[in-house]
Amino acid sequence: MPDIFTEFKVKDLSIKNRVVMPAMCMYSSDESGQVRDFHLLHYTTRAMGGTGLIILEATAVERRGRISGNDLGIWEDSQIEGLKKLVDEVHRDGAKIGIQLAHAGRKNETFEDVIAPSPLLFNLKYRTPREMTQEDITAVIEAFGRAALRALKAGFDYIELHGAHGYLINEFLSPVTNERKDGYGGGAANRVRLLKEVTAKVREHWPEEKPLGLRVSAYEYEAGGNTPEDVSFMINLVKDEGIDLINVSSGGVVDSPIEVFPGYQIRYGTEVKSKTNLPVIVGGLLEHHHMANEIIRNNRGDLIFLGRELLRNPYWVLQASRKLGMEEVVWPRQYEKAKGNKLMR
Ligand SMILES: Cc1cc2nc3c(=O)[nH]c(=O)nc-3n(C[C@H](O)[C@H](O)[C@H](O)COP(=O)(O)O)c2cc1C
């Protein structure tokens, strides 16, 4: 029976344990979108702390696809070098690293061209987006493709498409934000079309043996919004384009309140897992090692993500290995003396 310290394999990627750091925007770059010293320190600390897979924060495939003016970017070749350095340093510390390719759509706060499937406002903090033309759609698909090639050149192990939290792909998937009358709007088969075309384009550049993931908002906390059943249906329409892993989140599509509690999204993940037959990353307010382990041991998900807990405690995995008595877990050589209580001189 697997537990959080069991290796996980998907395509050519082997992850040493089941603990994932999900994408978390750090808003620590600038207009250039380049990797800064902060990013190197931040991500390598989590790698030294034993995290199996680190997913780099939402990284914009187009300048107008940024959330803020401080997002990381992968919209031009000059950004590859910094990303490659980050990948190499995280690898040196024993973790695998993926990148979340993102387009903010109507949740772009940078006061550039704001685009979305339909001209609907999220809330007063944002501007009303312009309805995308076919030209815009083609440009976005191409941008995802070029970003995938850059991610390959930078050496990433994994790509995750950001299809959650009300950003551009999610805006197409959701009936609440997509009122298009063309082939990209209407029924689920049309709403998933942008994602399908993005996936196919990414797969032209991202080799078949490398895993490609998708983050979804499986529940929208809004009448008429997508449910785990709807989202699973759409994943099943697109997975043959080459999707290997689903990272199950929720919300962010509309500005409605979410009632959170430890494990609040796990049931959505388990449902998506059973309805799509794809492995899932699940999480949401996870903190306790026994609870994290229970999810894997009961097969409610294949991997768990720890977001804010890994911001609080980059050494969560090493500490969990002590608490769970997992002596065989390998610690960084420099920290080995902290593994047990016996003082070795
Ligand atoms: C500071 C911060 C930034 C985030 N940025 C992203 C992001 O870039 N992409 C994404 O998919 N989710 C993002 N999220 C959501 C997290 O990945 C995660 O789903 C959420 O925090 C819930 O997990 P937790 O309760 O373990 O923190 C962010 C969350 C936080 C706290």
In a domain, 3, yes or no: no
Q: Is residue 58 part of a domain?
A: yes
Protein residue whose Cα sits closest to atom 26 of ligand 1: 307
Residue from 24, 25, 310 to probe ligand 1 pocket by mutation (most atoms less than 8 Å from CB): 24
Counted domains in the chain = 1
284 lines ligand 1 (CB under 6 A): yes
Neighbours of 11 (CB within 10 A): 16
Digit-coded pLDDT (tens) for 203-230: 999 999 999 999 999 999 999 999 999 9
Confidence of residue 163 (pLDDT cuts 50, 70, 90): very high
Number of CB atoms found within 10 A of residue 248's CB:
29
Long-range CB pairs of 105-109, under 8 A, 24+ apart, other chains included: 105/65, 105/129, 105/166, 105/167, 105/168, 105/169, 105/170, 105/171, 106/166, 106/168, 106/171, 106/177, 107/67, 107/166, 107/167, 108/64, 108/65, 108/66, 108/67, 109/67, 109/68
User: Is 82 among the domain residues?
Assistant: yes
How far apart, in Å, do the first and last CA atoms of the chain sit? 37
- What's the predicted TM-score (pTM) here? 0.98
Can you give the residue range of the structural domain that contains 183?
A: 8-338
Task: Answer whether 307 contacts ligand 1 (Cβ < 6 A).
Answer: yes
Residue 97 lies in a domain: yes
pLDDT at res. 345: 57
Q: Supply the residue whose CA is at minimum distance from atom 4 of ligand 1.
A: 24
- Which ligand 1 atom minimizes the distance to the CA of 285? 25
Residue 75 is part of a domain; what is its CATH number?
3.20.20.70
Residue 320 lies inside a defined structural domain of this protein = yes
pLDDT tens per residue, range 12-45: 999 999 999 999 999 999 999 999 999 999 999 9
Closest C-alpha to ligand 1, atom 29? 24
Examine residue 155 and state whether it is found in any structural domain, yes or no: yes
Ligand 1 binding pocket includes 287 (Cβ within 6 Å)? no
